[in-house]
Amino acid sequence: MQVVIVDFGSGNLKSLYTSLGKAKEDLKNINIVVSNDSNDVKKSDKVILPGVGTYSDCKKGLESVKGLRDALEETVRRKSRPFLGICVGMQLMSTVGLENGKTNGLNWIPGQVVPIEPGLMKHETLAKPKIPHMGWNQICPNKSHFLFDGITNERYFYFVHSFHFLCDFEDNVLATVDYHQSLVAIVEKENMLGTQFHPEKSQLLGLKFLSNFLKWKP
């Protein structure tokens, strides 16, 4: 099985590659490739799209690599190969992002990516939450999923983001995180998953999450 980490100039590629190498230790015949070659994406059995930075810059980076957008559409949407978007890679699955202006996304999961607003506080003496949302937070699954297999009830993962995904349909929200308001932590649709948190930075639970993705057969 070949797993491609898509390199479009934005992402924790080394950290993710290393984490996947640890996550697949108990699995056999898995080849992990970091590539921006559309042919590698088309030949892959699973695709991971990491993203760090702004929504607009990541989308430009993706579009700048010849044939890469079409390869993703063919592999993920038409061939239904399992897909994992991480952080901005997850946000790009949306219809549109509003960071640094309006930018069209991949439109795989209906919704928009908008700034985190502090909102109403539970108690007026509490300090406003810091933006970006950065650090360890517990996710709350909305329903059962193979991705949570073997993951304890603690479910703490590492987040770094100032914008969040507002899904049009609740069915596409697999898990949320409470940061003074409910924010989307994981999105899903058919063969596609996306995490707002960084599994590659989330220590043992992150490795278990990645291992489950490698085993996942939607």
Looking at the chain, the whole-number percentage of residues with pLDDT higher than 70 is 95
Task: Work out the burial of residue 183: count CB atoms within 10 Å of its CB; fewer than 13 is exposed, 13-18 middle, 19 or more buried.
Answer: buried
Average pLDDT over residues 45-72: 95
Mean pLDDT of the chain: 92
Which of 55-69, 83-97, 106-120, 155-169 is the least confident region? Answer: 106-120
Q: What is the pLDDT of residue 121?
A: 46
Q: What is the pLDDT of residue 129?
A: 77
Q: What is the pLDDT of residue 122?
A: 52
How confident is the model over 10-56, as pLDDT tens digits? 777 999 999 999 998 878 899 999 999 999 999 999 999 999 999 99
| pLDDT value at 153 more than 90 | no
Q: What is the pLDDT of residue 118?
A: 73
Average pLDDT over residues 59-72: 95
Judge whether 87 counts as a catalytic residue.
Answer: yes
Q: Which domain holds residue 32?
A: 2-215
| pLDDT value at 154 more than 90 | no
Q: Which is the catalytic residue, given 58, 87, 133, 188?
A: 87
Q: What is the pLDDT of residue 163?
A: 96
| pLDDT value at 124 more than 90 | no
Residue type, 41: V
Write the CATH number for 95. Answer: 3.40.50.880
Sort strands 96-97 and 111-115 into parallel, antiparallel or unpaired. parallel
Say if residues 41 and 76 touch (Cβ distance below 8 Å). no
Say if residues 174 and 141 touch (Cβ distance below 8 Å). yes
Judge whether 99 counts as a catalytic residue.
Answer: no
Residue type, 181: Q
Average pLDDT over residues 82-104: 96
Give the C-alpha separation, 200 to 20, whole Å.
8
Which of 90-99, 129-138, 195-204 is the least confident region? Answer: 129-138
Output the DSSP codes for the chain.
-EEEEE-SS-S-HHHHHHHHHHHTTTS-S-EEEEE--HHHHHH-SEEEEEE-S-HHHHHHHHHHSTTHHHHHIIIIIIS---EEEEEHHHHTTSSEE-TTS-EE---SSSEEEEE------SSTTSPPPPSSEEEEEEEEESS--GGGTT--S--EEEEEESEEEEESSGGGEEEEEESSSEEEEEEEETTEEEESSBGGGSHHHHHHHHHHHHH---
Looking at the chain, the whole-number percentage of residues with pLDDT higher than 90 is 84
State the total domains in the chain: 1
